[in-house]
Amino acid sequence: MEPLPRGPGRAAWPLTCLVLLSLRGWPGAGAQAQGFELQQPQEEVSVTAGETLNLTCITYGDGPTGPVKWLKGWGSGNETVYEQKGSFPRVTRVVGESNRDFSIRIRDTQPEDAGTYYCVRFRKTLGGVDEVFRSGKGTEVSVHAKPTPPVVSGPGRRAGPGQSVSVTCTAGGFFPKDIDVKWLMDEAPISAQQPQVTPGRTKSSYNMSSTVTMTLQEDNVRSRLVCEVQHPTLTAPLRGTYQLSKALRVPPRVRVVADPPSPVEANKTVNFTCHVKGFYPGDVVVTWLENGTEVKVENISRLVQTPRGLFELRSLVEVKATEEKNGSVFACRVVHDGQDPISETAALRIAAPAREGLSDWSQTDNDNLLLIYVVVGVVCTVLALLVAAILYLIRAKQSKGKSSPSARLHEPEKSSEATTQESDPNNLTYADLNFDRERKTIRRMVEMSQQSEYACIQTSRAPASDDNLTYADLDMVHLSKAPRRPAPCPEEAGSEYASVQIPRK
């Protein structure tokens, strides 16, 4: 066979094969090229965000015509960081216009600048396309980013004393991942959940979230929460603050006072004052209602804040105490921070006027009324007793003479002088006897006893027979024997006279 003719096509074929062989195993194939070397000595570089990053690339020997570029990443997703043509505001050459030193500076590095950077020498193909000729081994760049200032946020709506709320602290864009969070309330440490760290917008940045839960108190109006963040890139911790007053609502205490208090005299002026105290925040609306109808009031005091941080105010309404307003109800309605209204009421009472001819004492005085009732009761009782006594005396007078009661007379021991006296019919002992009206049976009258003396009691009228005699057993009664005197006769309407004769033994 004849040898193939030499021509441009045959001369180009061995060169193409040589280029393909030299590119086998790229990147890093430049270390094996004859007469040309590309050195990228930095394997890893760490930089703090905001600082300047220096990347080194130096070539030795002569190579084909072509540019030198810096690429971030490899493959289809690579990004051109710098080339000799074009504008790259943050990237500049360390040694300008040098054909050997292709080192660059990247100013104001950010977490998204982290990645692997390659220094690459290209060459022009016959078609005018740049193709890779040599490449460095790559430099792994990590950007140590400071966390953003912590942001502390509270609940979406306010809560009252005794209720629990959650407050969250967030920070982001930091690298490396390690971060420490501490919570303080009024500079005193409080416990909180462990912070949650999640990946950020780039692979080389992270975000943090920390939450604390606490129970609100009235005294928290002036309390302050602090979220303190510590990171290796920081020389001093970052602090975020939150005023607990943003999450706290303290409802007001409402009281209505009348001056002077009811009841009042007619046509007097009464001041109804509404005291609204101890509330937070100061967003409050006060209105007055008279029997359910709103009353226009202009006398409202200015909002005052107490040393505890709570607010208070007063609202005054003047009312003339006319007869038409007697019994009217005045209500103070308070709407605080858009919540349901709180109302307190007071009634207007007018005292009844004094009548002509009456004494000056007040008819509303309960003590005087009670005294009058007692006096009237005593008088009525005395009158009732007098009437009962009169009726009794009338009945006693009407029943005189119908019968004589009996009673037992126990005669005292007789003296020796008495036993010597002669029995004389005229020697009688008289006694005025008023007895209760009670009939005694004859059987009882004839009872015999050694301690009893029987006496005949004779009235002013002569008895018709023995059956008309009334006998009385008189016990335990000592009769004093009076001197002789004529036979008794009725002298008084209320007395009866009886002759008592004691026989001599």
> Containing H/E element for 16?
helix 8-23
Contact 143, 111 (CB under 8 A): yes
Contact 152, 126 (CB under 8 A): no
Average pLDDT on 314-331 reads 93
Q: Please give the residue that has the higher pLDDT: either 345 or 475.
A: 345
pLDDT at 34: 61
Model confidence at 85, in pLDDT bands (50, 70, 90)?
confident
For the ranges 93-97, 139-143, 151-155, 239-243, the lowest mean pLDDT is seen at 93-97
Average pLDDT on 287-314 reads 90
Instruction: Please determine, for residue 110, whether its predicted confidence score (pLDDT) is greater than 60.
Output: yes
> Containing H/E element for 47?
strand 44-48
pLDDT at 11: 33
For the ranges 178-182, 225-229, 346-350, 472-476, the lowest mean pLDDT is seen at 472-476
Which class in CATH covers the domain with range 26-144? mainly beta
For the ranges 19-23, 440-444, 485-489, the lowest mean pLDDT is seen at 19-23
pLDDT at 306: 93
For the ranges 79-93, 302-316, 393-407, the lowest mean pLDDT is seen at 393-407
Query: Which whole-number Å values give the CA distances from 327 to 115, 180, 258, 263, in the listed order?
Result: 85, 68, 14, 10
pLDDT at 367: 66
Q: Please give the residue that has the higher pLDDT: either 372 or 416.
A: 372
Instruction: Please determine, for residue 428, whether its predicted confidence score (pLDDT) is greater than 50.
Output: no
pLDDT at 127: 80
- The burial of 96, by beta-carbon neighbours within 10 Å (0-12 exposed, 13-18 middle, 19 or more buried), is given as exposed
Instruction: Please determine, for residue 205, whether its predicted confidence score (pLDDT) is greater than 70.
Output: yes
- Distance between CA atoms of residues 276 and 285, nearest Å: 10
Instruction: Please determine, for residue 91, whether its predicted confidence score (pLDDT) is greater than 60.
Output: yes
pTM of the model: 0.54
CA atoms within 13 A on the CB side of 423: 5
Model confidence at 254, in pLDDT bands (50, 70, 90)?
very high
pLDDT at 489: 53
For 33-71, the pLDDT digits (tens) are 467 899 999 999 999 888 999 999 999 988 888 889 999
Fold match flag (26-144 vs 253-347) = yes
CATH of domain 253-347: 2.60.40.10
pLDDT at 357: 41
pLDDT at 503: 53
Return all residues near 6 (Cβ < 8 A) that are at least 6 apart.
none
Rama region for 119: left / alpha / beta (φ>0; ψ in -120 to 50; rest): beta
Average pLDDT on 265-288 reads 94
Average pLDDT on 432-460 reads 44
User: Average per-residue pLDDT in the chain?
Assistant: 77
What residue spans define the domains of the chain? 26-144, 151-246, 253-347, 354-396, 399-505
Instruction: Please determine, for residue 482, whether its predicted confidence score (pLDDT) is greater than 80.
Output: no
Q: For residue 237, which of 228, 226, 245 has the smallest C-alpha distance?
A: 228
Average pLDDT on 68-84 reads 89
Instruction: Please determine, for residue 89, whether its predicted confidence score (pLDDT) is greater than 50.
Output: yes
Q: Please give the residue that has the higher pLDDT: either 85 or 225.
A: 225
Instruction: Please determine, for residue 445, whether its predicted confidence score (pLDDT) is greater than 70.
Output: no
Instruction: Please determine, for residue 26, whether its predicted confidence score (pLDDT) is greater than 90.
Output: no
Query: For 340-365, where are the alpha helices, taking DSSP H only?
Result: none
Please identify which residue in the block is written with the tokens 């959940």.
193
Average pLDDT on 411-428 reads 44
For 157-185, the pLDDT digits (tens) are 999 999 999 999 999 989 899 999 999 99
Query: Which whole-number Å values give the CA distances from 163 to 211, 244, 409, in the listed order?
Result: 17, 13, 97
Instruction: Please determine, for residue 105, whether its predicted confidence score (pLDDT) is greater than 70.
Output: yes
Instruction: Please determine, for residue 430, whether its predicted confidence score (pLDDT) is greater than 80.
Output: no
Return all residues near 318 (Cβ < 8 A) that are at least 6 apart.
269, 270, 271, 272, 299
Query: For 105-185, where are the alpha helices, taking DSSP H only?
Result: none
- Distance between CA atoms of residues 284 and 293, nearest Å: 20
Average pLDDT on 440-452 reads 42
Percent of the chain having pLDDT more than 70?
A: 69
* Fold of the 151-246 domain: Immunoglobulin-like (2.60.40)
pLDDT at 296: 85
Percent of the chain having pLDDT more than 90?
A: 49
Model confidence at 193, in pLDDT bands (50, 70, 90)?
confident
